[in-house]
Structure 1
């Protein structure tokens, strides 16, 4: 048994670093390895041994942090979404003196720039997640729901209250999330060939249309 292993078992410091700190560092290395491999090779083409090689750690340490590659993928996904949300919030707060439509545009632009700046994150969010979600939905569903809730909160602030009692902001938010996800997924699949400005205008058109409808600019078509 090595000195480091013995110290880990005792929970003591090793070379001035506590066992808890070392576990956190190993956990971080696997998350970084997951981002790299899931974001370049894909979830289904990534095995535990490859993650260990990327992290320069053994399988024993992988299972110290994660029960499975699915659990690691969920962690990588959560961190990507949290970072994306922070980028969007920062952009919106920087335009807080502007009107609702300007805030929407600022948030969408920040969202698109975030997606484009790291192809690994883009692949995970818009190529890998839809596939993994089919088999392991419970691992990432709560994160998706959290993003819907964020859009709902924004909608309650940015959009006028619906006059029609049948209109629910949480469902509107889910629809906005889904429609823009499909637009951006096509952008990602196409290798970002469309200029960001084109994608932005089309995403913005969806939000602006909803804002116009909720403000009374359009009326729903009655089907009898």
Structure 2
């Protein structure tokens, strides 16, 4: 069975059809997050497993998603959006800082957003890999957004005279590739390190490629209010 089923309209139990649908979808999302991100993983999960965890029927599942892959796709966007919000929330607070402090704060915000919930880390860096051409495109599209963000930050730093003027796209692409590779290996246990060690290693890699050095003791970083 595949393809979405149109849910019933009208009010039931004091809630509209839209409210009931939103609640069902949220329950399926929570179940998928647990099963894909902390349980057996996407490849070992069936639709009936998701329905059992959500305490909903397969008919209700097909009212929300065409397939199990659709649920994974939505969860992948959800966990990426959470990491992106962590960075964008910090961005206005660090715009005035010197580049070393600014990049440090931004990347640590990303690391916290991407790994604060281990289920997010596994979905973003492990479960999404190699599922289908469609999800490969979605994953690469999200990587491209981070590359564009890094390029914009580098251009801003270059315009201020903090780093040399040049095209930083290859640097940004290489760094995002390193983030994805190292986070994958760390998430599956191939790299025995703490999150702080992983974050420090990646951050130093970025700062080195941008030729950004720590401020000297005579010129400490600006303090935030």
**Do these two structures clear the TM 0.5 threshold for a shared fold by scoring above it?**
yes
1:113 aligns with 2:112: yes
How far off is 1:139 after superposition? Answer: 4.4
Runs (4 or more) in structure 1 with deviation over 4 Å come to 159-164
d(CA) in 1 for partners of 2:211 and 2:21? 52
Give the structure 2 partner of residue 153 of structure 1. 152
Give the structure 2 partner of residue 220 of structure 1. none
How far off is 1:181 after superposition? Answer: 2.0
What TM-score, normalized by structure 2, do the two folds share? 0.78
1:202 aligns with 2:205: no
Structure 1 unmatched runs, 5+: 1-7, 214-224
d(CA) in 1 for partners of 2:148 and 2:53? 35
Give the structure 2 partner of residue 92 of structure 1. 91
d(CA) in 1 for partners of 2:186 and 2:138? 26
d(CA) in 2 for partners of 1:135 and 1:90? 30
What SS does the aligned partner of 1:185 have?
helix
Structure 2 unmatched runs, 5+: 1-6, 213-225
Give the structure 2 partner of residue 24 of structure 1. 22
d(CA) in 2 for partners of 1:31 and 1:114? 18
What SS does the aligned partner of 1:131 have?
coil
What TM-score, normalized by structure 1, do the two folds share? 0.79
d(CA) in 1 for partners of 2:66 and 2:146? 25
Listed one character per residue, the Cα deviations across residues 138-174 of structure 1 (whole Å, up to 9, x for unaligned) are 344433333333333333223458645xx3x333322
Higher helix fraction (1 or 2):
1
Residue correspondence of structure 1 range 41-60 to structure 2 within 5 A: 41-60=40-59
Give the structure 1 partner of residue 143 of structure 2. 144
Give the structure 2 partner of residue 65 of structure 1. 64
Give the aligned CA root-mean-square deviation in angstroms. Answer: 2.5
